Amino acid sequence: MALLRKQDLITVWHDRDISAGTDWVHEVNARLDAAHIILLLISASFLASDYCYSVEMKQAIRQHEAGHAHVIPILLRPVDWKGAPFSTLQALPTNGRPVAGGGWRNKDEALVHVVQGIRNVVEEIRSQEAKELSAEGQSHLSQRTLLSSSPSLHSQTRSFSCVQEDSEQRIHTDEIASSSFSSGLLLTYKQKLSTVSSGMICEVEEFLASGGHAEVYRASIAGKSVALKWYRDPWPGLRSHLNVLIERGAPSERFLWPIELVLAPTSSEFGYIMPLINELGEQYRKLGILFQDRIKISFRALATLGFELAQSYFLLHSEGLCYHDISFGNVSFNPLSGEILLHDVDDISLSGSNSNVVGAPLFMAPEQVRKEAFPSIYTDLYSLSVLLFYLFMFNHPLHGKRKVNISVFDQSAMIKLYGTEPLFIFDPHDHSNAPVSGYHDNTLFFWSLYPQFLRDRFIQAFTEGLKDRKCSDLTSLIN
C-alpha cells in the first residue's frame, strides 16, 4: 500500500507502531475512533483468539453497522469462516481466495487484489464525503483517510440504556446487559461488591470495555448508575495512589475523577467508581471522531473545546499534578457546545515522578522520545500543544515535508522525527519541513484562517518550546 500512502490517500496504523511503555489501550482507542477503514486479518489464529473474536472484532462490526467505519476482512490463510459475524461483508482478495493457499501464482498477485480493493473503498469514501460537503455548501474536504488493522483493535463498547417502564422491559434490558459478559471477564453479571468508605453495595450490571490492566463496567449503587473500573493486575501502591486522588478531589467537574474505592468481599481485588459518561449526557463523543469529518462542529464549539482543554489542564497543573497521557483517546466532547470530559485519570501523579505511563507516541515530548525525562507538567504542556494544533489545523505540528519523504516509517524514523530532530512545519527560520501543497492543503488553509496571535503562540510552542519547555505553555490562551 506504499503508493496509497505516497498519494496521501491513507495513513496506515497497527499496534506494532506503539512504543514500549505506552498505554496501548488509550492509543488503540484513539486510532480505532479515528479510522475510516478497519482491516480484519483473518486466519485460524484470529478466529481462535477469544479476545480478537469476541471483543475487538465485534466492536469493529458495530462501528461498521453504525456507519462510522468500513470493515474489510482480509483472508490471509485458508480457514472456515462461514457464519462468522463478518461473513456477510465483502472480503479481499476477491472470490474468497486467501492470500496463502488460494491458488494465486504468487503472494504478490493476491496482495495486488487486496490493495486494489482497498483503493476502491477509499475512493468511495472520498466521493461520498465530497457529495455531502458539496450538498452542505462546505469547502473543506479532509485529505486523509485513517486506516487501522486488526487483530489488536480495542475500543469502548457503548453502554446500553433504555427507559424501564414495566417488568417485561426490565427483563429485556437484563438479557441485553448480561449478554455482554463472557467467562474470561474479571467480574460477573449481578456480582455484588462493596464500597470502602460508605459500605454500600455496588452491583455489576454491564461490561463496557477492557484494557491492558483493567476492565470497565456499568454498575449500580442505590439505584444510581456509575462506572466501575476494576483492575486486572494493579501495580504496587496503586490502591494508596487512588486513595490520595480521592482525598484530593477533582480539579474541576471536567475530570471523571475516582469517587470511592470498591472491594470484592472474598479477595484482595479492587477498583473504583466514577461518573458514567452516558449518565452525564448521551451527546458526548470520543474526540477521535472529530478527525473523521463525520461529525460537524461549529467554530464556536471548537474554540470552546480548546479553551476547556487549556483550562482543565491549567487547573490540574496548578495543583502540581501532571496527566502523563494527553491525547485523543482520553477526551470526550459535546459536539454542540464543545464542553469536554477527561477520563482515565488514575495515572495522574505529581509532576516529574516516575510512572509506568509515558504517553502516546504522537504526543510525547521530544525529551521523552529520547528517554531523557519523566512525565511532568512541561511534557504535558507539549502534549497539550500538539492536541490543540490537531484541533485547529487538522495535522501534527511536525508532519510536513520530512514526513512525506519518509519511505519506511519505522521506529528509527519516528525517533528522528519526534525526538532527535523535531522541526515545526511553520518554523519561520527553517522551511525544510514545511507543509506540502497537495498533501497538507487543509493545514495550509486553516493556518491562514486563524488570527496571528494564535499562530504566534503555536510558533513559540514548537520552536522556542522545543528547547525551553516553559515556552510551550499555551494555557495563557485562557486569559
pLDDT digits (tens, 9 = 90+) for 251-272: 999 999 999 999 998 888 999 9
Q: Are residues 311 and 458 in the same domain?
A: yes
Q: What is the pLDDT of residue 140?
A: 38
* pLDDT mean over 99-120: 84
* pLDDT mean over 226-242: 90
Cell digits for 4? Answer: 496509497
Q: Residue 144: CB partners within 8 Å, gap ≥ 6?
A: 8, 9, 10, 11
What 8-state DSSP symbol labels residue 255? B
Q: What is the pLDDT of residue 28?
A: 61
Quote the domain boundaries for residue 196: 167-275
Report the range of poorest mean pLDDT among 116-125, 127-136, 154-163, 243-252. 154-163
Report the range of poorest mean pLDDT among 216-230, 271-285, 389-403, 407-421. 271-285
Compute CA distances 161 → 39, 173, 190, whole Å. Answer: 29, 8, 16
Residue 59 covered by a domain: yes
pLDDT level of residue 166 (50, 70, 90 thresholds): very low
Q: Are residues 271 and 289 in the same domain?
A: no
Q: DSSP states of 331-388 as a string?
A: EEE-TTT--EEE--GGG-EETT---S----GGG--HHHHTT-----HHHHHHHHHHHH
Q: What is the pLDDT of residue 148?
A: 46
Q: What is the pLDDT of residue 109?
A: 83
Q: Are residues 122 and 10 in the same domain?
A: yes
pLDDT level of residue 421 (50, 70, 90 thresholds): very high
Q: What is the pLDDT of residue 396?
A: 94
Q: Are residues 250 and 307 in the same domain?
A: no
Q: What is the pLDDT of residue 33?
A: 62
**pLDDT cut 70: percent of the chain above it:** 75
Q: Residue 352: CB partners within 8 Å, gap ≥ 6?
A: 322, 374, 375, 376
Residue 125 covered by a domain: yes
User: How many degrees, rounded to 5, is the angle at CA 212 between CA 276 and CA 221?
Assistant: 25
Q: Are residues 263 and 222 in the same domain?
A: yes
User: Which of 104, 119, 150 is a domain's end point?
Assistant: 150
- Model pTM score: 0.64
Q: What is the pLDDT of residue 461?
A: 94
Report the range of poorest mean pLDDT among 4-13, 18-27, 192-201. 18-27
**pLDDT cut 90: percent of the chain above it:** 37
Report the range of poorest mean pLDDT among 107-121, 195-209, 323-337, 423-437. 107-121
Q: What is the pLDDT of residue 2?
A: 67
Residue 369 covered by a domain: yes
CB 53 within 8 A of CB 59: no
Residue 157 covered by a domain: no
Cell digits for 93? Answer: 482478495
* pLDDT mean over 59-80: 82
Q: What is the CATH number of the domain that holds 369?
A: 1.10.510.10
The chain-wide mean pLDDT, for the chain, equals 79
User: Which of 275, 306, 334 is a domain's end point?
Assistant: 275
Q: Are residues 297 and 225 in the same domain?
A: no
Cell digits for 239? Answer: 490502591
Q: What is the CATH number of the domain that holds 256?
A: 3.30.200.20
Q: What is the pLDDT of residue 6?
A: 60
pLDDT level of residue 353 (50, 70, 90 thresholds): low
Q: What is the pLDDT of residue 142?
A: 38
Residues facing 331 on adjacent strands: 342
- Bigger pLDDT: 151 vs 226: 226
pLDDT level of residue 30 (50, 70, 90 thresholds): low
Total domain count, the chain: 3
What residue type is assigned to position 87 of the chain? S
Residue 110 covered by a domain: yes
Q: Are residues 267 and 304 in the same domain?
A: no
Q: What is the pLDDT of residue 351?
A: 78
Per mean pLDDT, which of 79-93, 198-212, 434-448 is the most reliable? 434-448
Q: What is the pLDDT of residue 76?
A: 87
Residue 201 covered by a domain: yes
Q: Are residues 225 and 339 in the same domain?
A: no
Q: What is the pLDDT of residue 388?
A: 96
Q: Are residues 171 and 224 in the same domain?
A: yes
Q: Are residues 25 and 80 in the same domain?
A: yes
- Bigger pLDDT: 31 vs 334: 334
Q: Are residues 383 and 429 in the same domain?
A: yes
CB 261 within 8 A of CB 244: no
Q: Are residues 207 and 235 in the same domain?
A: yes
pLDDT level of residue 347 (50, 70, 90 thresholds): confident
pLDDT over 90 at 384, yes or no = yes
User: Which of 87, 116, 150 is a domain's end point?
Assistant: 150
pLDDT over 90 at 425, yes or no = yes
Residue 158 covered by a domain: no
Residue 248 covered by a domain: yes
Cell digits for 52? Answer: 480478537
Q: What is the CATH number of the domain that holds 141?
A: 3.40.50
